[in-house]
């Protein structure tokens, strides 16, 4: 199975490491022999028709900061996504929730040239989910995106596969680990600013974390879930969104007195699609602390089912990419 990787940040490098570590078991269990024929970052492309040396690829990226030095000369492939033959394209570039670019154009190019696509990039899906699914169906290829929601925790797979045959009527939960960490620290007496700074020191928040704090990241994940799980056709503009920057320590303390907590909750049902700070009982299964994510699905026959796990991390998210790759391979065998 020939792969093209676009994006060699933390997730891209973690995925390459995962392939190195699990190559033997992948072949034994699933009959998969992934061969990365091209790898691109913002400075260029590494290419080998017979497959890149993965150890060398990681060394070159670490030493030079780009995979473009892999062959000793800088390669600039015009339209490399269309012109290089591969079965699967991995779109692992950073999320852009304003325009979805460059990930959106990358995914469209890959789907149009009949490549299966795996992405962890929320932007294109949050903005153009219905049209991308339509394009993948039209070209008879798969678009998979497990890592966009829950990182390594199989939130989307749980809803689509474990609750198969049932009807999910609504879901709600914590979809952003950074904001959950901040609100957790506030229950320990930290002010918002103190908790935010602590999250940055611990590496849970970037210096510019407006996407987390303002609720945009959770809203993007909510849109993806609503479209994929509930069959809606919605985008970011359909979400009623409010972040956590106005949550005060007094609000937190008042909630605690009543055996409750304030969490940034994302919810989808027949009437609501919102992200906002909400007061929930400490006995509620989704009332988790730290950087954990949690989602409760309400279904007609199974009742309430909750899945909890870490929502981020390079290797955790890379593991979701591998799950998607295995699903694509299994689809090949069944088609």
Residue ranges of the chain assigned to CATH 3.30.360.10:
156-310
User: Do 288 and 180 meet the contact criterion of CB atoms below 8 Å apart?
Assistant: yes
Catalytic amino acids?
Answer: 221
Altogether, the residues listed in the chain come to a count of 335
Q: Residue 193 and residue 170: Cα distance in Å, rounded? A: 33
| Residue the block writes with tokens 């591998």 | 322
Helix/strand/coil for 328: helix
What pLDDT, on the 0 to 100 scale, is given for residue 207?
Answer: 63
Paired tokens of 69:
């030095």
In the chain, which segments carry CATH 3.40.50.720? 2-152+314-334
- Please report the pLDDT score of residue 227 as a whole number: 95
Q: Which pLDDT does position 202 carry in this prediction?
A: 86
Angle, alpha carbons 115-86-134 (nearest 5°):
0
Residue 21: Cβ within 10 Å count:
11
- The whole-angstrom separation of Cα 32 and Cα 288 is 37
Which residue reads 């699914």 in tokens?
133
Residue by residue, pLDDT tens for the chain (335 residues) are 999 999 999 999 999 999 999 988 998 998 889 999 999 999 999 999 999 999 999 999 999 999 999 986 666 667 899 999 999 999 999 999 999 999 999 999 999 999 999 999 999 999 999 999 999 999 999 999 999 998 878 899 999 888 888 999 999 999 999 999 999 999 999 999 999 999 988 888 766 688 899 999 999 999 999 999 999 999 999 999 999 999 999 999 999 999 999 999 999 998 889 999 999 999 999 999 999 999 999 999 999 999 999 877 788 889 999 999 999 998 876 66
Classify residue 94 as left (phi > 0), alpha (psi -120 to 50) or beta.
beta
As its CATH architecture, domain 156-310 has: 2-Layer Sandwich (3.30)
* Local structure of residue 186 (DSSP, 8 states): H
Q: Is-contact 129 235, C-beta < 8 A?
A: yes
Indicate the angle between helix axes 10-30 and 54-64, nearest 10 degrees: 170
Cα–Cα distance, 323 to 143 (Å, whole number): 13
Taking the C-alpha atoms of residue 292 and residue 301, their distance in angstroms, rounded to an integer, is: 27
Spatial separation of the C-alpha atoms in residues 204 and 177, rounded to whole Å: 8
**Into which CATH architecture does domain 2-152+314-334 fall?**
3-Layer(aba) Sandwich (3.40)
Per the CB < 8 A criterion, the answer to whether 77 and 105 are in contact is no
- Between the alpha carbon of residue 167 and those of residues 287, 300, 303, the distances in Å are 24, 6, 10
Nearest to 221 by CA among 319, 283, 153, 169: 153
**Is the pTM above the cut of 0.85?**
yes
Checking DSSP bridges between strand 35-41 and strand 44-47, what pairing results, if any? antiparallel
């Amino acid at each position: 199975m020939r792969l093209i990787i676009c994006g060699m940040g933390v997730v891209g490098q973690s995925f390459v490491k995962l392939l190195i570590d699990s190559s033997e078991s992948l072949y034994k269990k699933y009959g998969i022999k992934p061969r990365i024929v091209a790898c691109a970052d913002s400075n260029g492309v590494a290419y080998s028709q017979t497959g890149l040396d993965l150890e060398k690829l990681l060394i070159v990226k670490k030493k030079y900061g780009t995979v473009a030095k892999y062959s000793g000369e800088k390669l600039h492939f015009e339209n490399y996504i269309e012109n290089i033959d591969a079965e699967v394209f991995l779109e692992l570039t950073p999320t852009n929730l304003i325009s979805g670019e460059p990930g959106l154009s990358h995914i469209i190019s890959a789907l149009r040239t009949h490549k299966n696509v795996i992405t962890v990039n929320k932007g294109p899906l949050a903005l153009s989910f219905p049209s991308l699914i339509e394009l993948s169906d039209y070209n008879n290829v798969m678009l998979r995106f497990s890592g966009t929601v829950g990182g390594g925790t199989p939130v989307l797979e749980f809803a689509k596969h474990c609750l198969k045959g049932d009807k999910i009527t609504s879901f709600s939960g914590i979809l952003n680990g950074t904001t959950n960490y901040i609100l957790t620290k506030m229950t320990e007496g930290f002010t918002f600013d103190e908790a935010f700074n602590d999250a940055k020191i611990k590496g849970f928040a970037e210096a510019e974390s407006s996407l987390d704090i303002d609720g945009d990241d959770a809203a993007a994940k909510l849109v993806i879930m609503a479209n994929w799980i509930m069959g809606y056709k919605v985008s970011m503009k359909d979400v009623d969104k409010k972040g956590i920057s106005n949550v005060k320590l007094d609000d937190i303390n008042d909630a605690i007195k009543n055996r409750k907590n304030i969490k940034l909750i994302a919810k989808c049902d027949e009437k609501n699609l919102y992200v906002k700070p909400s007061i929930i009982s400490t006995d509620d299964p989704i009332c988790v602390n730290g950087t954990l994510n949690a989602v409760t699905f309400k279904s007609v026959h199974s009742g309430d089912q909750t899945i909890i796990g870490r929502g981020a991390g390079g290797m955790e998210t890379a593991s979701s990419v591998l799950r998607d790759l295995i699903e694509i391979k299994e689809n090949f065998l069944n088609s």
